Amino acid sequence: MATFNQCQFIGRLGKDPDLQVNVTTWDKLAETVEKYAHKGMLVFVQGKLQQRPYKDKQHIDRISVEIIATVVQLLEKRKTDDEIPDDVLPPE
């Protein structure tokens, strides 16, 4: 049986760069997010949902839910002089 694991979110970054939901990016996408994203910026994230078991500091079993992102789209420009390339922003 085939399965489909796809999720999409739009929200504001809660930290530099982090979301309420843990989002993992790799390679060039990770470099772009690190360079241009900042706390409070509106972003679109698309990827697959993944669960990861771990033990907390009290050695209690927990499960972390994260998104392995394939797309991160910055939905607004930075408020600084840093220029964001056109391929990182959505068309106006």
Q: Report the C-alpha gap between 5 and 26 in whole angstroms.
A: 18
> What pLDDT tens digit does each residue of the chain (92 aa) get?
888 999 998 988 876 655 567 888 999 999 988 888 888 889 999 999 999 899 999 999 999 888 999 999 989 876 655 566 655 555 55
Q: Report the C-alpha gap between 4 and 66 in whole angstroms.
A: 16
pLDDT at 82: 59
| Homologous superfamily in CATH for domain 7-74 | Nucleic acid-binding proteins (2.40.50.140)
pLDDT at 89: 55
Confidence (pTM): 0.71
pLDDT at 86: 57
pLDDT at 92: 53
Sequence ranges of the domains in the chain: 7-74
